[in-house]
């Protein structure tokens, strides 16, 4: 069985050699993980009260996203995220309000309301490709990004994140095959959270691990404790360095457990044994990292309480601000396809707005959406 890298055990005790990370980066990692926890909780409440239509729980996955994100250079690297990667956005300082804009699908949402909530995309402060619902389709795209940088002789690396269910997709196999053949500067990060919606890992694959799957494509595989943020950081850091220096791709399996449903439309209590959930609660990645920082003298209870209060207020204010913004204009159905807006689409746009305005469906000539 592939060895599983661990640096901090569930009690927060150091059991392996910790990577050298600056104090400010460690605290930034903790802040990002705590931000995910608060943002996730607020989105669940917003969905349950009918304020937003959908969200994807990130509870229990925080260390995978944040540990990986902390290794990247926003000046040259790309992220091809999964829909359970709030932590990557938070670590790189993407605005909470901008993320809430996507959750509400308002007029300032980057997607103009044309994507589902949670399907974030940003170009600043890091290149964050649009999240896609179809499983595995973004893996070949990530390899394409990496190969483009390779051909242009750039030093960038593309990190692509996906779940254990994604390893059964065509995109996983074609993506790894291309990356292996061309030694593309890409890091494949699998969040092995044990379940692909209600399908358990043992019904997903007969392989002894996901990390071992890389061997078929000439790609080294690494298995890491996904609830140990420093172990994830070290594994991804080494893989990024190798890719940046021309050494090709790496497949990393981060073993973790999603502690909520697949989405807000899912009830995990119908298929996940409660005893298993209780077992994984003892491995909480946020608590584990907090205990480590306490032991290292980098954080204390007062600091945790102050941060939790700050984040709670910040995220609540962001949700309130996003909810108050107007919806996207009706004309956005037609925009962002062509660099120069063609005449035939202008005609269709004007006819569409006039049609709804004429039917008195709360759409004015400015194109306010009828919801």
Q: How confident is the model at residue 329 (pLDDT cuts 50, 70, 90)?
A: confident
The arithmetic mean of pLDDT across residues 235-259, rounded, is 98
Cα separation, 159 vs 142, whole angstroms: 7
Q: State yes or no: is 38 an active-site residue.
A: no
The catalytically annotated residue of 23, 48, 151, 271 is 271
3.40.50.1820, 3.40.50.1220, 3.40.630.30, 3.40.50.970: which CATH number matches 4-324?
3.40.50.970
Q: State yes or no: is 271 an active-site residue.
A: yes
Cis peptide before 125 (omega within 30 of 0): yes
Contact 31/307 with Cβ under 8 angstroms? yes
- The count of C-alpha atoms lying within 13 angstroms of the C-alpha of 224, restricted to the half-sphere facing its C-beta, is 31
At residue 52, the pLDDT reads: 95
Q: State yes or no: is 258 an active-site residue.
A: yes
Summarised one tens digit per residue, pLDDT across range 264-306 is: 999 999 999 999 999 999 999 999 999 999 999 999 999 999 9
Average pLDDT, the chain: 94
Q: Which residue has the higher pLDDT, 337 or 57?
A: 57
Domain definitions of the chain by residue range: 4-324, 329-371
The catalytically annotated residue of 258, 288, 290, 349 is 258
The arithmetic mean of pLDDT across residues 164-171, rounded, is 96
Summarised one tens digit per residue, pLDDT across range 55-86 is: 999 999 999 999 999 999 999 999 999 999 99
At residue 48, the pLDDT reads: 95
At residue 353, the pLDDT reads: 85
- The count of C-alpha atoms lying within 13 angstroms of the C-alpha of 267, restricted to the half-sphere facing its C-beta, is 2
The catalytically annotated residue of 223, 234, 262, 349 is 262
Q: How confident is the model at residue 365 (pLDDT cuts 50, 70, 90)?
A: very low
> Distances in Å between the alpha carbon of 265 and those of 164, 191, 281, 300?
19, 20, 22, 37
At residue 362, the pLDDT reads: 54
At residue 371, the pLDDT reads: 40
């Amino acid at each position: 069985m592939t060895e599983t890298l661990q640096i901090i055990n569930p009690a927060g005790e150091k059991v392996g050699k910790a990577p050298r990370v600056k104090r400010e980066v460690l605290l930034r990692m903790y802040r990002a993980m705590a931000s995910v926890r608060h943002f996730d909780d607020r989105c669940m409440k917003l969905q349950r009260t009918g304020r937003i239509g959908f969200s994807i729980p990130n509870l229990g996955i925080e260390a995978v996203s944040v540990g990986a994100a902390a290794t990247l250079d926003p000046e040259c690297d790309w992220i091809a995220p999964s829909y359970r990667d709030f932590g990557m956005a938070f670590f790189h300082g993407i605005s909470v309000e901008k993320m809430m804009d996507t959750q509400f699908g308002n007029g300032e949402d980057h997607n103009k309301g044309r994507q589902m909530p949670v399907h974030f995309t940003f170009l600043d402060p890091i290149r964050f490709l649009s999240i896609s619902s179809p499983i595995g389709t973004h893996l070949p795209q990530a390899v394409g990004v990496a190969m483009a940088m390779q051909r242009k002789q750039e030093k960038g690396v593309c990190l692509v994140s996906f779940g254990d269910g994604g390893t059964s997709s065509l995109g996983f196999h074609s993506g790894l095959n291309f990356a292996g053949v061309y030694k593309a500067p890409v890091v494949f990060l699998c969040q092995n959270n044990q379940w692909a919606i209600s399908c358990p890992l043992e019904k997903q694959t007969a392989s002894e691990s996901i990390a071992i799957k890389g061997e078929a494509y000439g790609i080294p595989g690494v298995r890491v404790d996904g609830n140990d943020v420093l172990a994830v950081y070290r594994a991804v850091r080494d893989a990024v360095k190798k890719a940046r220096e021309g050494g090709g791709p790496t497949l990393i399996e981060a073993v973790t457990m999603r502690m909520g449903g697949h989405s807000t439309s899912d009830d995990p209590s119908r298929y996940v044994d409660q005893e298993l959930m209780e077992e994984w609660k003892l491995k909480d990645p946020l608590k584990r990292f907090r205990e480590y920082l306490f032991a290292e003298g980098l954080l204390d209870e007062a600091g945790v309480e102050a941060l939790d209060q700050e984040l709670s207020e910040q995220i609540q204010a962001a949700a309130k601000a996003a909810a108050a913004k107007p919806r996207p204009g009706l004309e956005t159905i037609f925009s962002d396809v062509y660099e120069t807006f063609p005449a035939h689409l202008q005609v269709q746009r004007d006819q569409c707005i006039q049609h709804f305005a004429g039917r008195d469906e709360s759409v004015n000539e400015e194109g306010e959406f009828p919801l």
